[in-house]
Chains A and B, each alone.
Chain A
């Protein structure tokens, strides 16, 4: 080994490889079956594996596009609550972690987006968790967004659809993240009291304090195939009971079998299913088509 091989060669390689730049995102390997999937086809199939039907996680904007009619929706601006109320610091400062996540997702962002539009021709307000933003954890900003979404649904007399995808409470906000459990419960209660339907679409993964509050209180509970949904994390359970967990434990199908969700629905059919159900709940008598004057 010499200076040539140690220093010069890697530098040359770095330059050369940077120039060639074969995009490594053309192909995605399905984490479930290992099949190599071409990115355009994968996207056209809504990030569901052609080979095995595995539903990959998608970001909040893509989720909105999947749910709303023709992918059309209007996002609302979310309240900007107090930042880092506990002045929390672990190995990093919480404000720095937030900044990092916002650098990736956009300024003023947190782990949720709220939009309104039509689903199956019905007015709907949709709140979608962004798992890529600090594991979709629920702190004050997320709680406030859910309150805002619920109030918008009441204001517009629209159905509310919440799509959680979350590791649970945001520890860095301590007790105030825990208090989002009652706060979000109150929010969805306001929608129910207004006689409006409240849907929960559980996506991978939904755990902890999110599951144990608004996410289990839907009039109708839908889940995507294979989504992990539970209260306690698998590792915590294994450590507590010192037992291996059964196959498929805490998966959407397991919850269906245990009576915890109404149905497990493929991503392609979500918009149609939710649209139909809102229609059944809100338009009990179909009007005969009117002729235009």
Chain B
């Protein structure tokens, strides 16, 4: 059962009509197969048209789609010997950030990312992808391990943001994020970051200061959620769609602004419609991105990352 978004209603209606026709008893006077084929062509045309010109707000909804592949889906499909490592060695294991050692196309890497979970139980276990300080401190530990054993780091980001809770504040949420940014910027091994769904504010940046930053075609990356921005600047949550537009949070805008380096195309109709295909495309993009970085010297890797971020903001849209 496909989970349709509001703006996909016309497509949903067509597809349910097709389903109905298929289950109709065969009648000699109408050719159902032809009719179905016509409708299917129409539906696929409509899907293509819709997804070719998604608004920023529509992309927000696609990026948050419950059927969209999450970190663990990519980790399982793209890596072998994936061995998650747990704990910050100080307070707790935060399952909002999952990470560990794995092989990517034969090469040992550190892979980590924010995991939102896929049904009630796993969503709760992963705290909906919103990490506490322990999650970021585990990330720091993994960055340092990567540095020590000279392993490239691959991060996949999908989070609404860091967890805003009393416990998180008490244990230094801000400090943990700051240290994670610091640790990642110090790396002398390649770091490739990909925004696979939502890149929510500081909680996302903590894992996203890559030598190369990729974004899936319909993912978003923003300083604040459109809802939060609307409630502060427009004083109304209803203006979220307007805020989404104003914030320039789409992959296409961020590429123009020089904040990301590459857009990874999604299958027509979004990654949630053809999950395996979407995951495979990212795998190839990661390999291509990683290749030149592997030839760089440790000093150059750090320098290139720094210079890239320092150069940001030199021009607007």
Contacts and interface: CB of A to CB of B under 8 A. Distances in A.
A217 B222 CA distance: 23
Contact of A175 (B169, B173, B228, B259): B259
Contacts of A6: none
Nearest to A236: B164
B312 A216 contact: no
Contact of A169 (B164, B175, B223, B246): B223
B1 interface: no
Given A178-B205, A212-B174, A217-B182, A171 B221 contact: no
A217 B178 CA distance: 7
Interface in A253-293: 254, 258-260
A89 B245 CA distance: 10
B269 interface: no
A178 B165 contact: no
A21 interface: no
Given A85-B313, A182-B181, A209-B202, A249 B222 contact: no
A195 B175 CA distance: 21
Given A185-B182, A231-B173, A258-B170, A176 B165 contact: no
B249 interface: yes
Given A86-B316, A90-B234, A185-B178, A178 B222 contact: yes
Contacts of B202: 178, 181, 208-209, 212-213, 231
B315 interface: yes
B84 interface: no
B205 A176 contact: no
B310 A174 contact: no
Interface residues of A, number: 58
Could you say which interface size class chain B belongs to? 35 or more
Tell me what chain B mostly uses at the interface: helix, strand, loop, or mixed. helix
A245 interface: yes
Interface in B156-182: 162, 164-166, 168-175, 177-179, 181-182
A186 B310 CA distance: 8
Interface centre among B171, B179, B233, by most chain A C-beta atoms within 10 angstroms, is B233
Contacts of A214: 178
B209 interface: yes
B196 to A, nearest CB: 17
Contacts, number: 171
B185 A175 contact: no
Nearest to A84: B316
Contact of B309 (A183, A236, A259): A183
Given A88-B246, A178-B223, A260 B165 contact: no
Contacts of A208: 202
B223 A231 contact: no
B222 A182 contact: no
> Which 5 interchain pairs have the tightest Cβ spacing?
A85-B316, A232-B164, A211-B174, A90-B233, A231-B174
Interface of B: 162, 164-166, 168-175, 177-179, 181-182, 185-186, 201-202, 205-206, 209, 221-224, 228-229, 232-234, 243, 246-249, 254, 257, 259, 306, 309-310, 312-317
Interface of A: 81-82, 84-91, 140, 143-144, 147, 169, 171-183, 185-186, 189, 208-209, 211-217, 229-233, 236-237, 240-241, 243, 245-246, 249-250, 254, 258-260
